[in-house]
Structure 1
Amino acid sequence: MPPYGQNVAMTRPVLRTTPLAMKQFFLTMLGVFAGMFLFLVVVPFIFIVIAIGAASSEEPTPRNTVLELDLREGVTDQAPNNPFAVFGGSGLSTLQIVDTLAQAEDDDRVKVLLIRLPEAGITPAAADEIRQAIRRFRASGKVVLAHSQGFQPVGATVSSYMIGASASELWMQNTAGFQLAGFSAESIFLGRAFDKYGVNAEFEQRYEYKNAVNEFTQSDFTPAHREAMSAWMTSIYTSALANAAQDRKTTPAALRAAIEAGPHSSAQALQRRLIDKIGQVEEAEAEAKRRAGRNAEIMEFSDYASSQGERGGSGRNAIAIVGGEGAIMTGTGGGADPFGGGSSIMSDDLAEALYDAIEDDSVKAIVFRVSSPGGSPEASEQILAAVRAAKAAGKPVVVSMGDYAASGGYWISSEANWIVAQPSTLTGSIGVYGGKFVLADALGRFGVDMRNLSIGGDYADAFSPAQDFSPAQRAAFAAQIDRTYEEFIARVATGRRLPPARVREIARGRVWTGAQARQIGLVDQLGGLEEAIGKARELARIPAGDSVRFKRYPEARSPFEALSEAFGVSGEAARVLVGIGGVMNDPAAEATVRRIQTERARASGASVLADQPY
Structure 2
Amino acid sequence: MRSFLKFFLASLLALVIFFVIGFLILLGIAGKALSPEKVVIDPNGVLVIETSQPYAEQKIVNPLNALLHGEANEIPGLYDVVRLIEHAATDDNIKGIYLKTNGNPNGFATTEEVRKALLEFRKSKKFVYAYGEGISQQAYYLASTADKIFLHPQGGLDFAGFATQIMYVKGTLEKLDIQPQIFYDGKFKSATEPFRETKMTEANRIQTSAFLGDLYGHYLSGISAMRKLDTAILHRYADQGLIQNAQDALSHKLVDGLKYDDQVMEVLRAKLGLKKDADINFVSLAKYESAADYRDASGENKIAVLYAQGSIVSDEGNEDVLISSEKYLQEIRKLREDKSIKAIVFRVNSPGGSALASETIWRELELAKKVKPVVVSMGDYAASGGYYISCMADSIFAQPNTLTGSIGVFALLPNLQNFFKNKLGITFDGVKTGQYADLGTATRPLTETERKFVQNAIDSIYSTFKARVIAGRKLSPAVVDSIAQGRVWSGVQAQQLGLVDRLGGVNEAVACAARMAKVSSSYRLREYPAVKAPLEKLMKTLGNDVRTSMVKQELGEQYSLYRQVKRLQEMCGEVQARLPFDMIIR
Give the counterpart of 2:52 among 66, 69, 72: 72
Maintained 8 Å contact 2:34/2:67: no
- Structure 1 520/329 Cα, relative in aligned 2: closer, same or farther at 3 Å? same
Which secondary structure does the structure 2 equivalent of 1:173 belong to? Answer: strand
Give the counterpart of 2:527 among 536, 542, 552: 552
1:173-184 mapped onto 2 (5 Å cutoff): 173-184=152-163
Maintained 8 Å contact 1:125/1:402: yes
- Between the aligned partners of 1:287 and 1:185, the Cα distance in structure 2 is 38
Partner residue, 2:180: 201
Give 1:362 shift: 2.6
1:236-247 mapped onto 2 (5 Å cutoff): 236-247=215-226
Please state if 1:434 is matched with 2:411. yes
Cα deviations by residue, 1:321-378 (Å, 9 ceiling, x for unpaired): 111100111233x516xxxxx5111122222222222233232211110101101122
Maintained 8 Å contact 2:51/2:104: no
Structure 1: segments with no counterpart, 5+ residues: 1-25, 337-341, 569-596
Give the counterpart of 2:303 among 316, 319, 325: 319
1:271-282 mapped onto 2 (5 Å cutoff): 271-282=251-262
Give 1:227 shift: 0.9
Maintained 8 Å contact 1:321/1:369: yes
- Between the aligned partners of 2:164 and 2:224, the Cα distance in structure 1 is 23
Partner residue, 1:95: 79
Partner residue, 2:268: 288
TM-score by length of 2: 0.85
- Structure 1 290/218 Cα, relative in aligned 2: closer, same or farther at 3 Å? same
1:393-412 mapped onto 2 (5 Å cutoff): 393=371, 395-412=372-389
Please state if 1:515 is matched with 2:496. no
Cα deviations by residue, 1:438-489 (Å, 9 ceiling, x for unpaired): 2222233333314253534333322222111111111101111111101100
- Structure 1 39/253 Cα, relative in aligned 2: closer, same or farther at 3 Å? farther
Cα deviations by residue, 1:105-151 (Å, 9 ceiling, x for unpaired): 22111111111123366411111111101111111222111112224
- Structure 1 519/481 Cα, relative in aligned 2: closer, same or farther at 3 Å? same
Tell me which amino acid in the other structure corresponds to 1:550: L
Maintained 8 Å contact 2:63/2:538: no
Maintained 8 Å contact 1:191/1:216: yes
- Structure 1 33/210 Cα, relative in aligned 2: closer, same or farther at 3 Å? farther
Partner residue, 1:605: 573
Give the counterpart of 1:106 among 90, 100, 123: 90
Please state if 1:493 is matched with 2:477. no
Partner residue, 2:428: 451
Cα deviations by residue, 1:24-56 (Å, 9 ceiling, x for unpaired): xx9xx9999999877753586267346325416
Give 1:65 shift: 0.6
Which secondary structure does the structure 1 equivalent of 2:576 belong to? Answer: coil
Give the counterpart of 1:362 among 335, 340, 355: 340
Maintained 8 Å contact 1:80/1:343: no
Partner residue, 1:11: none
- Structure 1 238/469 Cα, relative in aligned 2: closer, same or farther at 3 Å? same
State the percentage of identical aligned residues.
30
Tell me which amino acid in the other structure corresponds to 1:436: L
- Between the aligned partners of 1:409 and 1:218, the Cα distance in structure 2 is 25
Please state if 1:527 is matched with 2:504. yes
Tell me which amino acid in the other structure corresponds to 1:134: L
1:30-49 mapped onto 2 (5 Å cutoff): 41=22, 45=26, 48-49=29-30
Maintained 8 Å contact 1:241/1:255: yes
Please state if 1:217 is matched with 2:196. yes
Partner residue, 2:230: 251
Tell me which amino acid in the other structure corresponds to 1:554: P
- Between the aligned partners of 1:257 and 1:600, the Cα distance in structure 2 is 40
Q: What is the RMSD computed on CA atoms of the aligned residues?
A: 3.2
Equivalent pairs, count: 544
TM-score by length of 1: 0.81
Give the counterpart of 1:298 among 282, 289, 297: 282
Cα deviations by residue, 1:5-37 (Å, 9 ceiling, x for unpaired): xxxxxxxxxxxxxxxxxxxxx9xx999999987
